[in-house]
Every structure is written in C-alpha cells, then in structure tokens.
Amino acid sequence: MVALNLFVYETTGSALAMGLFMAIRLGAGFLAGLAAGSLLARLPAKPVMLWTNVAQAAALLVLAFVPEEMLTAGLFVSSATIGACGTVFTVALRSSVPGLVGEDRRSWANSLMVGGRSLAMVAGFASAGVVVSLLGFTAAFLLDAASFLVCAATVIPLPAAGRGSGRGTERTAGGGAEGAAAGEEHGTRRRGRSAAFAALVAVPVLGLMVSLRGVDALGSSSHNAALPVYSSALDPGDPAAFVSRFWLFWALGNVLAQQVIQRWAGRTGRSVGAVGFGLGTVAMSSAFILGFAGFPTAVTLVIALVAGAADGLTEVSYTSHLQTLPQTLRGHAFGISATVENLGFGVGMIAVAAALETFSPFAVVAWSHGVAVLLAVVFLIRRQRTSDARATPVVYEPDRPPLTGAPESASRADQ
C-alpha cells in the first residue's frame, strides 16, 4: 500500500492519478465481489486461492520490470488485478474456513487469521519506509511479490475443498446434453446468488450485519484519510511519528483481543456471537471518534489500543457468523459482503476527502463513525427483539395457516 501509492504519485506527478489508481483497485474489488460467489460455485476454493496469489505476484513483477513507456498502462492493469484477485482470495478463504478446520473451530481459526494479519500489517507499515528509501521501489515490489508466492505455496498443502453446486451436472455425449448441462449450471449459479440475497433479506439480523459492515467501511475510510491530516497538525515536523504509533497500538490491541478470543473459543467451544459484533462496532467507532478529540498522546494511544481490540472482535464475530450459512450460499454471501464493504470504503474515501477540505478531522470522523454507532444500536435492538420473539412460545391454532419464514439454514445463521 505504501510503496504502490508513492510510486504512482512519483511516476505520474499527479494526485488525481493516485486517486484514480485507488479507485480502479476498489472498483475491481467491487466487481470481483459480485462474481466471487459464482466463481466459487464452479471451481474448488483451493485453486482459486492459489492462482489469485500467483496473479497478484505477477502483477507486481510487471511493475518491477515493465519498460518505462508502458509503465502507466502497467500501473492500472496491476491495480485492477490486485483489487480483483485480493477480493476473490478473501472470499474464498473465509468461505472455506469451516471445511478446513471444522464448524466448532471457526472462531479460533478466524481469530488466528485476524491476529496474524494485524502483525503482518505492523511489519509491512514499519518496513515499507525503510525498504523504499534504502532499496527503492523495485525491491519493494519484488519483496511484495515474494510474499504472495509464499501465500500461494501455503495454499498447496491445504486439503482440497469441495466444489459448490455449480459443477454438479454430469455432461453426456451430444451437443444438446452439453447445452442443457451448461444451462442448468448457469441456472444453479443464479439460484445460488439469488438465495444468498434472499438469506440476507429474509433474516433481518443478517442483512443488518452486512449493512453495518458497509457503514463501518465508510467509517474506516474517514479515520484512514483524517489521520495524516490530524498528525500533521499535531507535529508538523514529524507527522509520521504519531501515525506509526497510533497504528502500532491499534495492532497491539487487535492481537491482544485475538489471544482472548482464541482462549475463550478453545475453552468453551463456542464462537463469538452477533451481539459481540454489535457491541464491538459501538466500542470501535466510539474509540476512533475519541482518538481525534485532542486528548494527550498517551491517552490517545490507549484509545487506539481499545479501537484495535474492538476491531478484532467485530472482524471475528462477523466472519464466524456468515460462516454459519450453508456451503452453497456461503461464497455468494461473502461475495456480496465484499462488494458492500468495497462500496462503503470507496464512497467514503471520496466523501471524506471532500469533507476534510472544509471540516476538522474530528468532525469528519465523528459524523462517519457516528452513523456506524447509530446503526449498531439499531442492530442490537433488532437482535434482542428477534431473540425475545424466538423465546416466546407459539400457541397452535388449527384454523390458522402455518407460518412460512426463512429456511432452517438462515435461522441457524441468526442464532
């Protein structure tokens, strides 16, 4: 992230080009989220995860060795490749976790991945400045490409995940049979995508969770964009110092939260529930708002620690909750979720960039994360009402037609 954005700005000399570069990456991720569920219905998750990493490594190698006259085109092709493949890989990995580790170890595995990613982010942000300044952009791209190849190599020994329902039709001899099989396969993929949308709509809590995730992404864009502005006002001579400390304590809080979640899940065998997601969102957004309120640095770093811990809780609880959906719907649901998150972050970056020209960082972050807090409270209230309604005994009335609701799988996802 650091090297690519700096490289685009240095190569083009235009902040607009850098914004376009980020927009292409987010747009490609948005479209890939729509297609990811159908792709995973046709292909096993393992080769999808393998080749999306190989493609991202290849995109970075293109940037490292492309001729100068083709550099601008290479930048935007690489941006689209990284955005699309990163989204597809994330959807494939998240939807495969229950099959890889078992339903009862979902929270443990999700917490382990989130904690590892937080440590990797700290290492990446801490090393980026040193690598770029001492070794140059080419070395940074080669190092990043190597990390994608390591990820691809890690995928190889994983057990092969089962293919979705999209390839379940056996082809027989004759063009007509092949055409019918292809038509049935296409119809199955459409039904799977429609069923995922239906599950999100039919279960109010699940649909609210995805919506809240999109609003949360909008809030994330606000503190990501406002943090450099805020730190520059705090210390014009060395704005990077506060930014690095803020993210360091955020990551430490995230890692500490994962340790607690892993031990709790291992001891109880339970996953972090939907209530944890709602409460974590309230705590995280509130902490980010307070982080820009002008408290002393020591207090702000403690707030960043709390924000990181709450962020880790929401990530694990959200991912674990969507993984309760049936395998045929899981990939589509994660694809829809990725699309909503990319949309929220992309729209947020545009709106926040414009708002920071007029309003203070605190005001911008407070409005953005305030919406997330408000929706999280609505979510918690709705979740509690759903639980109370489920606990209320139903009186059998012979003359009354039976109620039809969400399928059993959707109801299970709401528990």
pLDDT in tens, 77-119: 888 999 999 999 998 998 888 888 887 788 788 888 888 887 8
Residue 121 has pLDDT above 50, yes or no: yes
Is the pLDDT higher at 51 or at 184? 51
Looking at residue 402, what is its pLDDT? 42
Residue 166 has pLDDT above 50, yes or no: no
Looking at residue 142, what is its pLDDT? 92
Least-confidence region, from 233-242, 249-258, 275-284: 233-242
When pLDDT is cut at 50, 70 and 90, the band that residue 193 belongs to is low
Please state the rounded mean pLDDT for residues 244-253. 84
Least-confidence region, from 25-39, 45-59, 266-280: 266-280
CB neighbourhood size of 183 (10 A): 11
Token pair, residue 400, equals: 């009354």
Residue 51 has pLDDT above 80, yes or no: yes
Residue 309 has pLDDT above 80, yes or no: yes
Task: HSE, CB side, 13 Å, CA atoms: give it for residue 255.
Answer: 13
Least-confidence region, from 341-345, 366-370, 377-381: 341-345
Looking at residue 271, what is its pLDDT? 66
Please state the rounded mean pLDDT for residues 19-44. 82
CB neighbourhood size of 37 (10 A): 28
Is the pLDDT higher at 66 or at 372? 372
Please state the rounded mean pLDDT for residues 302-310. 93
When pLDDT is cut at 50, 70 and 90, the band that residue 336 belongs to is confident
Residue 280 has pLDDT above 50, yes or no: yes
Please state the rounded mean pLDDT for residues 9-32. 75
Closest CA to 304 of 341, 342, 270, 253: 253
Is the pLDDT higher at 244 or at 303? 303
Looking at residue 185, what is its pLDDT? 47
Residue the block writes with tokens 């902490």: 287
Looking at residue 302, what is its pLDDT? 94
Report the largest interatomic distance among the alpha carbons of the chain, rounded to a whole angstrom: 80
**Distances from the Cα of 342 to the Cαs of 35, 276, 320, 387, 399, in angstroms?**
14, 23, 20, 31, 49
Q: Are 220 and 345 in contact (CB under 8 A)?
A: yes
Contacts of 302 (CB under 8 A, 6+ apart): 249
Least-confidence region, from 167-171, 215-219, 235-239: 167-171
* Domain edges within the chain: 107-155+189-388+406-413
Residue 236 has pLDDT above 60, yes or no: yes
Please state the rounded mean pLDDT for residues 182-209. 57
When pLDDT is cut at 50, 70 and 90, the band that residue 167 belongs to is very low
Query: Domain 107-155+189-388+406-413 is in which class?
Result: mainly alpha
Question: Does the pTM exceed 0.75?
Answer: no
When pLDDT is cut at 50, 70 and 90, the band that residue 358 belongs to is confident
